[in-house]
Structure formats: structure tokens, C-alpha cells
Amino acid sequence: MKQFIFSLLVLCDVASPVLHSLKYFYTASSGVPNFPEFVAVGMVDELQIDYYDSNTQRTQPKQDWMDKVTTDDPQYWEGQTQIAMNTQQWFKPNIDILKKRFNQTGDRHIFQRMYGCEWDDETGAIDGYDQHGYDGEDFIVFDLKMMSWIAPSPQAFITKLRWDKEKALLEQQKYYFTEYCIMWLKKYLKYGKETLQRTVPPSVSLLQKSPSSPVACHATGFYPDRVMVFWTRDGEELHEEVEHGELLPNPDGTFQISAELSLASVRPEDWGRYACKLQLHGLRDDIITPLEPGRIRSNRAKASSMGVAVGVVAAVVVVVMVLVAAGVALYKKKKKNERGKCLPPGSDNSSELSEKLNPPPDVSVEN
């Protein structure tokens, strides 16, 4: 389970200072113990906004401010639930289809989709993506600029040829990602303005497991996720001696990240030339932490405690995100799943539009 989740976290790329995103994740699983057969999750700026699975059969808000959506659409949650239930039915047969396509006989398989849009609120630039994955590998990907499908997997080539012929549906894909999705992204940003546009400064610590270990500059508890952490020498950014960690979510909706500095080539008398610098969108000034012995939590007890603390955070993330992502994490980069049905995020005609946007799964991967 942890492998699934931490792979998912890799998807949460550090955004540019003005980039906002709306993403939806679908996962259909077969033979995976303690996993719902189908899970759907929505995220705005990497913050989960809703959740559905085949056990509860109900789409539920995951942020208090998402309740505001019913002011404009009282039937929003009922509509989202119905869409998710329909999508669930379309996803299920695709695993059997793909098993045949890949000539497989095993029972445990995962079929995934991630789709969504991005909007730069300064330049107005927009982008969209729709990618499908099967058993941890890319299956088929939509290229919005080229208005065509890419088949990383040879088994997806048949699907690519069929989908590329459906010009009307390609145009509706374009409409969804460049207009409809962007419209809803802006609505969600408005609903969650106090949360999504807040700035929470981080707590920064220097950690070292042993005298010979690298020194980690660990920042946690910050928001938004638009952050840069790096080591400097004489004010200049370092590259070769530094290993950057992944951006990880905390259970309270904030984030954590670290950057490790190798001391192999750093002489003790030169420590004063080094510092960790953190830049967070929304903070006017950089946070600079000099490399000083007195600042480093270096004894084994403290290092162990910190390891436990980070482990607890990771464990909580796993518990929360397992059902949230249910295997989406197998992706190595942005992924967008099967073309069963592109579910617009709730609208008066969302069912009709989604019906037109993507055909049911019986025409998604097989003739």
C-alpha cells in the first residue's frame, strides 16, 4: 500500500507560483485485498475536494468549503454520485478486456485514469491532460496540443487508431479541458479562497542522523505547495552536492519537503559559507538557515525521533490516501486514465456532456 501512495505523491509536482490545477483520479481494481473495486477522487491545487468508492457508493466533500457548491447547484452531490456510479460500471469490464489484450491470466490488476486542467492566473495560459494506466504502466495518453492519442504501450495502438478517428469526440475533449474544466477550477478556487489562497510559513530544521551523514534541511507545515528549497554556498545555489526530496502532504493539508547536503567535500572551517534557502509563494522574504553546528539536531536519539515522526506522518498519509488514490500511485508522472467517461465536475448537464465527451468502456479499449 505504501508503495502505491508514495508513488502517487510523486505526481504532486511543485507548481509554478501562479499555476492552479483541477485533477480527477479514477482507479478500478481486481483481486486487490481490502481495496474498493472503484475509487474516484477530485483534487484542487493538490488538495482533495471529494471522494467516492464502490463500497459507500456516495460522493462526499472532503473540504468544508465544498459545501458552498450547493448554493449554485442544490443537486450537485447527487449528480456527482450518479456520474461516479455510472463510471464505475464502465470501468469494471475494461480490466477483463485489458487482460486479454496483454494475454494475462492473473487476478490482481489495476486500471487507472487521471485527467484535469491547469490555469496560470497571471498569463491566462491553460493546459489539459488525460492519461490512462494499467498495472503501473502508461497505457494511452491524450495530447491536447496535437489533438491526438499517444500509445506508449503496443497493446494500446488499436485503441489509439480508433479514438483518433473520432474527430467530434476529440473536439469535445478539447472543449472540456480548455473551457469547462477551467470554469470549474475557477469556481472551486473561489469557494475555497480562504484555504487555497492562504500562506502558512514553514518550520525549518537541520537534521543529521550521524556525524558522517548528509545534513537535511527539512521544512514542514507550509502552504501552498509552491516552494523551492535548496542549499547555497556563498549565496550561490548548489547542485552536485545536494539531493532534493519529494514534496509530501501532511495530514492537516500542509506540506513538507527536504534537501540534503553531502558534507563529504565540506571542510569544517567552511561551514559558515553554506546555508539552506527556502522560497515559498506568498512569503515576501526567503527563509535562510545557516549551516551551523548548534542548529543541527544530530544525536541519534533525536534523529530517531524525527524518523518516527516522519514515519507517523507517512503512515497517516497512507491511511488517508490509500482509499483516496487506491492505486493511482503506480504512475511515474502525470497520468490520466481510461476513456470510459470524462466526468465533468458537476453541472446542470454534466451527465449529458460526459456522455458525449467519452463513450462507455466497451468502445474504450476494444473493437
Q: Quickly count: other Cβ atoms within 10 Å of residue 150's Cβ.
A: 14
pLDDT of 76 strictly over 80: yes
Residue 42 DSSP SS3: strand
Which CATH number applies to 2-195+322-363: 3.30.500.10, 3.90.1170.50, 3.30.300.30, 3.20.80.10? 3.30.500.10
Give the integer Cα–Cα distance in Å for 337 and 329.
12
pLDDT tens-digit series, residues 202-238: 999 999 999 889 999 999 999 988 899 999 999 999 9
Residue ranges of domains in the chain: 2-195+322-363, 203-321
pLDDT tens-digit series, residues 32-47: 888 899 999 999 998 8
The pLDDT-based confidence of 300 (bands split at 50, 70, 90) is: low
Residues 6+ apart with CB under 8 A from 258: 207, 216, 217, 218, 219, 229, 244, 245
Give the pLDDT score at 305. 42
Looking at domain 203-321, does it have CATH number 2.60.40.10? yes
Give the pLDDT score at 12. 38
